[in-house]
Structure 1
């Protein structure tokens, strides 16, 4: 074990499956020789403990997906990874955070950007604080690692449920040019990408990569949709520069700078409206019923024809300026610009100590406009429909984030090794939006300003986090390893709320805050110790067992979606803003598992059993009748289950199988009160958690068939099963997604070394549509039961050509 650890400490790429980040130009051949087995069995390298380790030896439950697999299946969105990772759930789109990740039934709401994600999203070594990095496509990926369970010791303050880690490709040791182009037949989209990579000097490598994706028919309108855009499309551009510098064996530095531009025709994404148990499209119920608009949608939730409506005429003009929504006459749109930079360096202080620094910088500016009534039209002449969208808003979500992490790692060559580290984050989130929560301008625009919006408000949340962590690895014997450590985190947040404008018609009573309202600083602070310990027994070179005790921590904060009515106005009147504060989320539990290889390592079998308790799980829901966001902490969620992973490299040359199977039992095991029912509350204690299928799994086959020395046929397929789950956490009878299968396939022919390739790729071949999350449709009457459902994308068929030389 010691020789393997030292080899990986030197940054070796083993077996060609996963190049170790930031060391692409300087491979230590002696280290590779020490680490690789005589039979040249590929070794996958992961960084589950913030250092390079073999996937089969690290005592962490990890699923690794290599860049070659991602390219074979045209996986260019994080959401597409779910068919390879059971119990991983990805929802993309909407306002707020712009997306949601959940793992083993634990995640964080996409409604609010105030929540950190319970599944940390690590991008090239930096944990980013916006799921809009998920919303935009990704490309030129070296490897994706999914770490299950709390990972707070090594990944910080927002990894209570796990980590989705993405590593982009690095410069190659010789000059290489790659190009890829594909056309997708169902959504009428094309993608072009390319890279140039190689050594500028003996010590400096460069990689330039870019991708452009244009989808013309991301959504098609339901017949009768009163909207300018009867087709909704989207475009993504991503450009990345990577510089890798190794002036000596003792020092290496890696810089990545990336720009992402995402545009779409509305923030709703692939969302449909269910007409609920009564089977009818409930009207858009406004102003206490004084205004009722026909909903318009046809209640067909799985036909991939979406109801679009532009904003109703009386509400469409007069957006409080400055706003990119001004002058668009209520037509939805979305624009996101993200600059991401990461500088990592590694300095070998001597043969036994390495200092690693990771600096991250993220700047995001995002704005979108949509009518969040999800329905409505105004009857026009001769049976026509005029736009009737209500609840429109133009949320501006800006983020500035700087992070710095330092790690000192040892390789003392003996029984004891350690890691010491420190982490600092400075972050500012600005949420600035004009909203139509009452839609009072159906009675007339504001007589003073002419604005047709109910209010304009801005939440600015500043976060400063500091943490120190340390871990040790002790080889008690040659076979028995004890590892563990603790992270201390201190996080402080300050939010200010300003409401410069409120429609004059809303100022007659005490329900709304006054124009010019300013909250002053609203403070939140918390600190936490998160310990972790693991015992691993390496029975043979091909079999180890481990047991871990783990804890997790995700800081609380101040809700930034509170509206200027009800809770916010009550807080303003009393000066007590405690109702906007949500508590920190904590996890505690453990897991036992084994990792085994048999038959000359042709067969791999890994399994983990776990149980964790999540206290004060952060939850946000939307009350469709009162048009209010409800932010709370679930008393307790207990998850337990088993994850199994198997791989078989068959005797047939080039043919291999991989499979995953997960069993999950997730329940609320303490009082969890939500509005409704008798007494005004519903207690969800004993109910199953949301996004928590009891059974989920997949099986994939890959077969490379040599036709000649210069020609290879490649066939692959993947079948994924999910036995269904509850999609919300508001009542005892929330919408349930039934069980479903997904099927992907790939047929390609090309040069065995990848010099050229022609491919036909199919995702979701059976065109299965399933619900990811659900929630009450806004502006319902007391008897209305319609639901808004976020769904997956339908079938996609790609024809692709790629070259590399």
Structure 2
């Protein structure tokens, strides 16, 4: 089934949603009206108003002049949202996926995001965890737990959240200690992927001034990725195991001073980095061969060309691949377990302190520490099933004797193996001084400092020269081992102010100044002797010396809010955004680095590795309203933003190399609307959202792969229409029992899945349905629930890219012969998770 013909069962999903909605039958007694909406970004009761921290201070969602969707803890827990990608069904145009060996994941909003294949890019949507901005998207792989609220802020947020917030912010706020002692927990079993989740917490006051919360979760999924029958793999059901532990201390020694410390440890273990990636067989309708040594060797694929089933064509590596790692390599020294694997360990700590200097001024300090160490290994050809052959009929033993020794029918022959180590240590410090005057004017001033060290080291198989022979000097089977080290120092000063022009009219805004310096060094301790002997590769022992990047930016913002009434706010905002550039770390030890050895060309080659900073400017016009006695909330915004020098990285599958560049200009404009309605039927609430987005390249831009013009083409992962609609219904069966049901239908129109050509694949429109039914105590002391995620088992492509090692134009061999290999067009496609069905039990007392 090709990507372009992957039809979505929209009608079936719609019928399922209607059927689920029909469960919300009126006329039955219920326990109590819910005071606030659980999703959709709205509140229906002043006493339970949802609060957000969109401008570094606590404000109610309906008053803050920012486009935000707030997802509460109840909604997160109800939908078994233990992975960030699950949030996409609550927020139209929010696209989150994890996987791969680059940054490890990607977040996009309104059609703007950053590539997951580059470990050098910061995210265009900032990931904010309890006030700490994180540079690594690998946190998306590990998941989250014990979250108080998720705030999705749309549009540039550089003034308050700094660099790497050009498209928005995904803010995760974890739960804090409670005023009284509380213990809670949950256990669930998932039938389709054969997984279970257990978690629990204990929270309360240790003394009158000190509170503590200890929370932990373990998630074990046996069939996270199921390998397609006929594909050789030692582990046929690839699993994933997560552990999350958090300790929170809240200290309130006086009314003038508070401190909050959070320490997180997060662990992720998996059986391969590729995740939910499958093979789309493209327009030629065939599974294309893996081509090695410039076409001298071809390996049958084995993919079934069906991306709609639950199985993935991911072969284990060839026996010629993962042996005798170079000295110092992350999977060397016996660390490689004999099959693809992934291992991530994260430490995250945040200390926030607030001091009232007087009744007019507050000083706030936020200190952050982030330490991630992640290593994985997989085969990035994805496929490969022996026996390999020569397209011209020459015996394999004459070309690749080491491969010939293991070239048996049905053998695992995946190629392109690597073992990337992604290690980041980040320290941040922010200070803010906030005023609290009685008059019309208040302000905030502050400073921010970030120090970051990033190591991206990997042994790679780009040529796969070891199919001929291992390195005659070291015995290593890898092509090369390269190391990138980047040190970042960033400084920011920012100031913002609010001025009430009248009782109803408020002017706010500010500016952030940022200076950033990055220094990158590249070392290549080892290059296979066969490659180093050619003029196309550098020799072992290469060192680039320092490659610097510096940039300074000023990002202003201004907003005018008109409070027509207590239930109606209208605002207009002009915003700018900034995401710093840097030094590409995908450069291969071939033509990308050869010029470093020549003093006359060194600076030119070094400059070729630098990508420019990304900037955004534009505005929004929004309205936030509450109607019908505050039982109905309707919010909406119009937006228009221009992004210049968009950072892109694409993969050339024929030449087997990355291309990193800045796109000329991307313009995104559209409308966001969400609503929340507490109906006259007791216990019944509806919520939903709809987004229209036009995100297109609006200046001349040639494809980095085939030179085709991309101007006027839509950006990838940018559907014109997306939305969701859902309901919640609770009713009492007796004084001690409460029945609850909920359903959510999410939908999207078609969109491009890549940014390499005007011929890029298009994912057709899709819809998914989630739902649950539960019974428990009205006070939440216990609950039993049946939860269905993606009930209709709808599979759709989130992102795609050309599969490595394809035959080029004209094919290989002689057309019409059994060994002829036509030009390849297979693509790697990253899919969403399929159906999940949970049974769960929870308690709280």
Report if TM-score (shorter chain) is over 0.5: yes
Report whether the alignment pairs 1:581 with 2:610. yes
**Aligned residue in 2 for 1:684:** 710
Whole-angstrom CA distance in 1 between matches of 2:563 and 2:321: 67
| SS of equivalent to 1:712 | strand
Report whether the alignment pairs 1:666 with 2:691. no
Residues 329 and 481 in structure 2, CA contact (< 8 A), matched pair in contact too? no
Q: Select the residue among 25, 46, 49 that pairs with 2:52.
A: 46
Whole-angstrom CA distance in 2 between matches of 1:473 and 1:568: 51
Report whether the alignment pairs 1:774 with 2:800. yes
Task: Report 1:407-422 matches (<5 A).
Answer: 407-422=432-447
Residues 607 and 644 in structure 1, CA contact (< 8 A), matched pair in contact too? yes
Whole-angstrom CA distance in 1 between matches of 2:612 and 2:835: 41
Residues 311 and 330 in structure 1, CA contact (< 8 A), matched pair in contact too? no
**Aligned residue in 1 for 2:100:** 94
**Aligned residue in 2 for 1:300:** 306
Residues 348 and 354 in structure 1, CA contact (< 8 A), matched pair in contact too? yes
Report whether the alignment pairs 1:796 with 2:836. yes
Whole-angstrom CA distance in 2 between matches of 1:329 and 1:260: 22
Q: Select the residue among 412, 426, 437 that pairs with 1:401.
A: 426
Cα offset for 1:692? 0.5
Cα offset for 1:709? 2.3
| SS of equivalent to 1:675 | coil
Report whether the alignment pairs 1:511 with 2:536. yes
Whole-angstrom CA distance in 2 between matches of 1:513 and 1:330: 30
Cα offset for 1:82? 0.2
Deviation per residue, 1:550-579 (Å, 9 max, x gap): 000000000011111122223444212111
Whole-angstrom CA distance in 2 between matches of 1:624 and 1:405: 43
Q: Select the residue among 724, 732, 737 that pairs with 1:698.
A: 724
Task: Report 1:159-170 matches (<5 A).
Answer: 159-170=165-176
Residues 312 and 330 in structure 1, CA contact (< 8 A), matched pair in contact too? no
Cα offset for 1:409? 1.1
Task: Report 1:19-418 matches (<5 A).
Answer: 40-323=46-329, 325-326=331-332, 327=334, 328=336, 331-379=339-387, 384-418=409-443
Whole-angstrom CA distance in 2 between matches of 1:105 and 1:113: 20
Whole-angstrom CA distance in 2 between matches of 1:214 and 1:558: 37
Report whether the alignment pairs 1:487 with 2:512. yes
Cα offset for 1:510? 1.9
Bigger Cα displacement from structure 2, 286-295 vs 480-489: 286-295
| SS of equivalent to 1:288 | helix
Cα offset for 1:676? 4.1
Task: Report 1:604-623 matches (<5 A).
Answer: 604-623=633-652
Deviation per residue, 1:513-534 (Å, 9 max, x gap): 1110000000000010000000
Bigger Cα displacement from structure 2, 262-271 vs 705-714: 705-714
Residues 317 and 329 in structure 1, CA contact (< 8 A), matched pair in contact too? no
Cα offset for 1:41? 4.8
Report whether the alignment pairs 1:569 with 2:594. yes
Whole-angstrom CA distance in 1 between matches of 2:412 and 2:779: 55
Cα offset for 1:60? 0.2
Residues 330 and 421 in structure 2, CA contact (< 8 A), matched pair in contact too? no
Classify 1:378/1:330 alpha carbon distance in 2 versus 1 (closer, same or farther; 3 Å): farther
Whole-angstrom CA distance in 1 between matches of 2:135 and 2:482: 22
Cα offset for 1:16? 8.2
Deviation per residue, 1:203-241 (Å, 9 max, x gap): 100000000000001111111111111110010001000
Q: Select the residue among 615, 619, 637 that pairs with 1:590.
A: 619
Residues 646 and 659 in structure 1, CA contact (< 8 A), matched pair in contact too? yes
Residues 284 and 373 in structure 1, CA contact (< 8 A), matched pair in contact too? yes
Whole-angstrom CA distance in 1 between matches of 2:280 and 2:717: 18
Residues 232 and 411 in structure 2, CA contact (< 8 A), matched pair in contact too? yes
- Specify every segment of 5 or more residues in structure 2 that has no aligned partner in the other structure, as ranges: 1-33, 389-405, 809-822
Whole-angstrom CA distance in 1 between matches of 2:162 and 2:337: 44
**Aligned residue in 1 for 2:657:** 628
Cα offset for 1:40? 4.9
Cα offset for 1:767? 0.3
Q: Select the residue among 574, 577, 601 that pairs with 1:549.
A: 574
Q: Select the residue among 772, 786, 791 that pairs with 1:760.
A: 786
Whole-angstrom CA distance in 1 between matches of 2:354 and 2:771: 41
| SS of equivalent to 1:259 | strand
Deviation per residue, 1:19-39 (Å, 9 max, x gap): xxxxxxxxxxxxxxxxx99x7
Report whether the alignment pairs 1:524 with 2:549. yes
Deviation per residue, 1:157-197 (Å, 9 max, x gap): 11000000000000000000001000000000000000000
Cα offset for 1:752? 1.2
Residues 544 and 596 in structure 2, CA contact (< 8 A), matched pair in contact too? no
Q: More relative contact order in 1 or in 2 (CA 8 Å, sep 6+)?
A: 2
Cα offset for 1:705? 0.8
- State the TM-score, normalized to the length of structure 2: 0.90
Residues 17 and 42 in structure 1, CA contact (< 8 A), matched pair in contact too? no
Whole-angstrom CA distance in 2 between matches of 1:359 and 1:518: 35
Cα offset for 1:737? 0.7
**Aligned residue in 2 for 1:28:** none
Whole-angstrom CA distance in 2 between matches of 1:558 and 1:382: 40
Residues 310 and 330 in structure 1, CA contact (< 8 A), matched pair in contact too? no
Cα offset for 1:675? 2.9
Residues 362 and 435 in structure 2, CA contact (< 8 A), matched pair in contact too? yes
Residues 487 and 530 in structure 1, CA contact (< 8 A), matched pair in contact too? yes
Cα offset for 1:682? 2.1
Deviation per residue, 1:315-340 (Å, 9 max, x gap): 23111133453344751000000000
**Aligned residue in 2 for 1:24:** none
**Aligned residue in 2 for 1:637:** 666
| SS of equivalent to 1:386 | coil
| SS of equivalent to 1:673 | coil
Aligned length: 771
Cα offset for 1:389? 0.9
- State the TM-score, normalized to the length of structure 1: 0.94
Instruction: Return the structure number with greater strand share.
Output: 1
Cα offset for 1:700? 1.2
Whole-angstrom CA distance in 1 between matches of 2:247 and 2:443: 33
Residues 312 and 378 in structure 1, CA contact (< 8 A), matched pair in contact too? no
